[in-house]
Structure 1
């Protein structure tokens, strides 16, 4: 089993570093890099092996070294399938036309702001004039929503973008930042030795979660097979076990209108990528 995992990781890192675009005989599945590529490969590659077996398609893990690079790749349509944050979906549905097919079941995404467990801070406004860590400017729940709330409260903070959620948590745990933005799923998935040094100071309102979306070039019959394979995970013990590794309770089908709550925020951070 370890040899199989090692081989999966070797293939995954080849795709990550060398070939983010799928070849004619495979489908690239891009995962937004909320965590390190190594951790994402470990968590998602077995899921893609499962989906490949169920669909008869060769579905391969891919990601990027940071969220801005991921955004550029999605904007260029480099991934056949992508798992992207709610704001990303509202942007990249427009160009190049990704269409949502599924999302996490019974889930609303909430951003969090974390501080060290021994911090004396108890209110979000107490982070005024502090240096705070965020994964990227357009990380929806971990950056966009918390920063919007801070602006509404008149807070003046110094944001530092550190490429991933795990980097936020590590930076706060080590005392490099007074606090930082993330989401509960990645907070729960980060290493125990880091997580145990932190506590959640504040939580955002809830929104529709990340989308699993397909590029328009993916054939309709392949899209249908993917949908059925994703739904199968809910009732299959192996599928449920794999979903548990990424803290998913299940998968449900989705449609474009599901993200209208995010569109109502009128966020324009990535408008330049639509040109």
Structure 2
């Protein structure tokens, strides 16, 4: 009896050690939407990737985009889903490597206004307070603001932490217009979207990157990349992609974001020198 107890205790200890020593990979998702909504959308994806790769992968995000940026530059996430401009910065420091992006997709920013707004052109935004997710939100903030500057349209930017917050604030009439992207606009609450219309759309650029931190091994990176690419050929994966408003993912390389680098954006250069 004592021997059986000893064997069981040893087995239990070994099991606990195995769980304790299991490496957990965090997938950090840029907080374009609320943490609750992102958890609902992305937790099933991390569970799917875990089952396909044999790696323990869990969802993570941040309360706002500046906090996310700080965590990415500090290497807090093993895998990160980040906007195109973020990738051009964080591929330098701490050296994230792109493994996947949406296939046959370009990201386009938008300005939204209320359905009943009389505004029909960007010129009519002159002198207005406009809502944006954050200063470095690429398609939802950087590109729309650059267009306003190019056309010498004076405005006052206000940063409201997420795309969903932009849409809610414009729908409530707190701002005449706000910046977002089509994917999050299509994915926002139906009752909010129904009150809005798209005023203007930016040119298209290479979309968000799924990238891994340099500490992630080549074997783990390849396993995650393969699972992401093969989602489109698996019914469960297709359902998960659809929930994200994705169609298909493909392998990506660092040079895919050279169109964004060509814009020579300097907003987050201070993070590279810290």
Mark yes or no: TM-score above 0.5: yes
Identify the residue that residue 84 of structure 1 maps to in structure 2: 82
Q: What displacement does 1:24 show? A: 5.8
CA distance in 2, matches of 1:231, 1:156: 44
Matches within 5 A, 1:228-267: 228-267=226-265
Aligned residue for 1:53? 51
**Map of 1:48-197 to 2, 5 A cutoff?**
48-197=46-195
**Cα distance between partner residues in 2 of 1:228 and 1:259:** 21
Structure 2 unaligned spans of 5+: 1-20
Matches within 5 A, 1:5-84: 25-84=23-82
Shift of 1:37: 0.1
SS of the residue aligned with 2:81?
strand
Q: What is the CA deviation profile of residues 60-110 of structure 1, one whole-angstrom value per residue up to 9, with x for unaligned ones?
A: 000000000000000111100000000000000000000000001111000
After superposing on structure 2, the runs of 4+ consecutive aligned residues of structure 1 that deviate more than 3 Å are none
Deviation at 1:232, TM superposition (A): 1.4
Q: Secondary structure at the match of 1:234?
A: helix
| Superposed CA offset, 1:113-156 (max 9, x none) | 00000000110111011010000000000000000000000011
Post-superposition Cα deviations, 1:145-204, rounded to whole Å, max 9, x if no partner, equal: 000000000011011000000000000000000000000000000000000000000000
Is the 2:241–2:248 Cα contact (8 Å) retained in structure 1?
yes
Q: Indicate if the aligned counterparts of 2:66 and 2:134 stay in contact, CA closer than 8 A.
A: yes
Q: How far apart, in 2, do the equivalents of 1:224 and 1:203 lie?
A: 35
Distance in 1 (alpha carbons) for counterparts of 2:131 and 2:22: 40
Q: Could you list the per-position Cα deviations for residues 11-47 of structure 1 after superposition, in whole angstroms to 9, with x for gaps in the alignment? A: xxxxxxxxxxxx8620000000000000000000001
- Distance across 2 between alignment mates of 1:64 and 1:209: 20
The CA distance in 1 between the partners of 2:230 and 2:52, in whole Å, is 9
Distance 1:223 1:25 in 2: 14
SS at match of 1:145: helix
- In 2: Cα distance, 1:39 partner to 1:124 partner: 31
Max radius of gyration: which structure? 2
Aligned length: 253
SS of corresponding position for 2:37 = helix
Q: What is the alpha-carbon distance in structure 1 between the residues aligned to residue 251 and residue 59 of structure 2?
A: 21
How far off is 1:231 after superposition? 1.2
> Contact 2:22/2:56 (CA < 8 Å) preserved in 1?
no
Question: Does the residue aligned with 2:27 lie in a helix, a strand or coil?
Answer: strand
Q: CA RMSD in A?
A: 0.8
